[in-house]
Amino acid sequence: MAAQKEDEFNERLTQLESQLAFQEDEIASLNQLVTSHNDELQMLQRKMALLIEKFQQIQERGNDDSQDPAAEIPPHY
């Protein structure tokens, strides 16, 4: 009887250790994924800031009517 309970305990302990190892591996994988996504997000934020800056510069230059492409007559007229 005692040997059977000890075997059941050891089997259960082995299962729990296996589950723990799997969870630790999964957490490490998810951590790596989150880190990768964070790096990508930061890069995209920098690019977005540059695009906003360029867009604002274009808007400032575009306020001058002399540079309005719609106001220009095409060269073939």
Confidence of residue 1 (pLDDT cuts 50, 70, 90): confident
Which DSSP state fits 70? T
Q: Going by C-beta distance under 8 Å and a sequence separation of 6 or more, which residues neighbour residue 65?
A: 71
pLDDT given for residue 69 in this prediction: 65
- pLDDT above 70: percentage of residues in the chain: 87
* The pLDDT of residue 68: 62
Distance CA 45, CA 27 (A): 26
Please check whether residue 65 is in contact with residue 71, taking contact to mean a CB–CB distance below 8 angstroms.
yes
Write out pLDDT tens, residues 26-54: 999 999 999 999 999 999 999 999 999 99
For residue 17, is pLDDT > 90? yes
